Amino acid sequence: MNKKWIALIVSILAVIGLALAPVVIKKDSTINLVILVLLYMTLASSWNILGGYTGQTNLGHAAFFGIGSLTTRLLWIQGAPFVLSFLAGGLVAVALALLIGAPAFKLRGVYFAIGTLALAQILNLTASNIWPEMSYNPALASYNLIPRYYLFLGLAVVTIACSYLLVNSRWGLGMMAVREGEDAAESLGISALKHKLLALGISAFFAGLVGGAFAYYHVSYYLNMPFSPEWTFDPMMMAYIGGTGTIIGPIIGSVFFVLLKQLLVWNVGEYHLIIFGTLFILIVLFLPGGLVEVWKKVRTLITQRKKPGKVNRSEV
Amino acid sequence: MLQSLGQNLVFGLLVGALYGLVALGLSLIFGVTKFLNVAHGELVMFGGYACFWAFTLLGVDPFVSIPISAMFLFLIGALLYKLVFSRTVKLPEESKIKNTLLVAFGLSVILQNLALRMWTADERGITTSYASVAFTILEVRFPIMRVASLVVAVVFLIALQLFLRKTYTGKAIRATTQNWEAASLMGIDIHKVYLLSFALGAALAGVAGILVTVNYSIQPAMGLGWTMKALIVMVLGGLGNIPGALVGGLILGLTESATSFFISSNYREVAGLVLFLLVLIFRPQGLFGAKEA
């Protein structure tokens, strides 16, 4: 059977399994844990579109997450229907992306990275100045975890599916061409700016939406909290650890991050970030392909041992 | 009005000198090695904690602990170079900068959480017996701690310049900065130069940490804010330009104090970041740097 079909079937089974999870799992804490995984998965996958596939290290992803959650929360708390507020969050994030995209992409390579970091910090500080207060959900009594769970699940599925469709399209190939060599891509008639803007826009859209889901999920939180830089750094590390520029990488990275966090919280406290940071450094230095590459290498080793002297056809 | 404007101006300059010192180490490291060490703020934090504990546990005056903190951070810097940054030396420049940036982000997460584990999230500061001394010239107050920062910053800038210009090792560092391949052909051990520059840059961060502790306060999460300031200053003064760091620091200090005066002190940092972005976009070679060919 074709590899693609196996992947598709496994994905569908995984989604069905996750969709049925609340029926089986009655513990809220477990559901919350899965929600956390789904949130990070969406955020890391959305970062990956620009950071992984297009090669533009975006250190300001928190800005899109933040503005999405802020927009959704403010509209929703003031009585707008949730679905509209939610979509508005995504669209405002896209608007921000397009607004800052053209000047930001004048910066190349590492300047783009520190430029986006500065932009996100500007928004973070400004949001903290304007909205220093806690936001409370007035409809606390009717709070129900299940619709939140399905919102996060749906969003993760849509984000990953869209990433897959995008990177396998003509646009996706263009994005990867820009990553491999901007000047070479330009010389072949691929507009680097257009592809970068598209990647940034889509990346921001999903980050904004998951920000909106965050606003819907939390009963009370500081309105400026989603702007804080860890919403950039954690998903970025997840994408790297799983493997940037792959669909499965951010998925593995986010599951791994939350599991590690849980395991270590029971034992020693904040050590998960120390371990995660160490792993991130090791991956950047020695295994730029992330855990996905480790898996590939291990698999090649095994298949080669099974068939000594033969070339593995699927690898050729 | 005029007096308070003058006061703001003086404060801006004094704070700016401190910013210059914070950026000095980052600028040295970037200039020589092309490592973009965004964990610089965390090194500043560690320097601050070294001086805080020396003061709290042993009663060592913060200015006396300058060599202690510098040595401590020199060793940490050497260790970080050996363990982590030395692996990126052979990469081409573009990917070297990018990889060190990422690696340093990982480091900043590690160092921040280590500090959190060891010293809790409490905000700490030092109040010496002479902390509130100030003198007044033409109705403008000069707090002694801020003036001391200026003096320390200038002393270290001059010392660094003398070291780079007059000593053999300093000349080797400058040669490596200009062209590492040629320098290495002339028999300069590049790894040693990189190690020394990185450790020196970290030591300078340690010194800056002391001044941050006596003038502000320290806590594990402070790193990113100070890294941003150092980046802003470095870009304003020109990447890797050592005297430019002090000039950049003064410009940032003045920008912040002008923002506090005319707009609101809440937007001080925002103004610095906006200035940073404008310079990055319109004058990436820095305000004073020559245009690269």
What's the average model confidence in pLDDT over A8-22? 88
Closest chain B CA to residue A268: B117
DSSP per position, A14-32: HHHHHHHHHHH---HHHHH
Q: Binning pLDDT at 50, 70 and 90, where does residue A267 land?
A: low
What's the average model confidence in pLDDT over A274-291? 89
Interface contact flag, B94 A270, Cβ < 8 Å: no
Residue B15 token pair: 């704070």
Residue B154 token pair: 């200038």
Partner residue opposite A115 with nearest CB, options B101, B269, B277: B277
Block residue for tokens 């900043």: B108
Interface contact flag, A129 B97, Cβ < 8 Å: no
Expressed in angstroms, the distance from the first to the final Cα of chain B is: 47
Interface contact flag, A270 B117, Cβ < 8 Å: yes
| pLDDT higher at A91 or B99 | A91
Interface contact flag, B106 A229, Cβ < 8 Å: no
CA dihedral sign of residues A255, A257, A262, A267: positive
User: Smallest CA–CA separation between B203 and chain A, in Å?
Assistant: 23
What lies within 8 Å, CB to CB, of B135 at 6+ separation is B141, B142, B144
- Residues on chain B touching A109 (C-beta within 8 angstroms): 94, 97-98
Query: Can you name the residues that pair with A136 across neighbouring β-strands?
Result: A220
B130-166 exposure pattern, b = at least 16 Cβ within 10 A, e = fewer? eeeeeeeeeebebbebbbbbbebbeebbeebeeebee
ipTM: 0.87
**How far apart, in whole angstroms, are the C-alpha atoms of residue B150 and residue B215?**
12
Q: Using beta carbons and an 8 Å cutoff, which residues of A are at the interface with B?
A: 57, 103, 106-107, 109-111, 113-115, 117-119, 121-122, 125-126, 129, 229, 233, 236-237, 240, 269-271, 273-274, 276-278, 280-281, 284-286
Residue B108 three-state SS: helix
Q: What is the pLDDT of residues A29-53, one digit of tens each?
A: 888 899 999 999 999 999 999 999 9
**How far apart, in whole angstroms, are the C-alpha atoms of residue A215 and residue A217?**
6
**How far apart, in whole angstroms, are the C-alpha atoms of residue A50 and residue A202?**
9
Residue B77 token pair: 């810097």
Residue A135 three-state SS: strand
Residue A36 three-state SS: helix
Which of the listed ranges A86-100, B92-106, B184-198 does the model predict with the highest average pLDDT? A86-100
**How far apart, in whole angstroms, are the C-alpha atoms of residue B77 and residue B175?**
21
Closest chain B CA to residue A241: B106
Partner residue opposite A109 with nearest CB, options B84, B98, B110: B98
Establish how many alpha carbons lie within 13 A of residue B187's alpha carbon, considering only the half-sphere containing its beta carbon: 1
Interface contact flag, A237 B107, Cβ < 8 Å: no
Q: What is the pLDDT of residues B151-163, one digit of tens each?
A: 999 999 999 999 9
Closest chain A CA to residue B235: A111
Q: What is the per-residue pLDDT for B293?
A: 32
Residue A41 token pair: 């998965």
- Residues on chain B touching A289 (C-beta within 8 angstroms): none
Q: Using beta carbons and an 8 Å cutoff, which residues of B are at the interface with A?
A: 36, 38, 84, 87-88, 94, 97-99, 101-103, 105-107, 109-110, 112-114, 116-117, 224, 228, 231-232, 266-267, 269-270, 273-274, 276-277, 280-281, 284
Q: What is the pLDDT of residues A74-133, one digit of tens each?
A: 999 888 888 999 999 999 999 999 999 888 888 877 888 889 999 999 999 999 999 888
Q: What is the per-residue pLDDT for A268?
A: 56
Partner residue opposite B281 with nearest CB, options A103, A113, A121: A103
Closest chain A CA to residue B86: A285
- Does residue A259 register a pLDDT over 70? yes
Q: Of all residues in chain B, what percent are helix, strand and coil, respectively (each to 5)? A: 75, 5, 20
Interface contact flag, B98 A57, Cβ < 8 Å: yes
- Residues on chain A touching B232 (C-beta within 8 angstroms): 118
User: Smallest CA–CA separation between A129 and chain B, in Å?
Assistant: 7
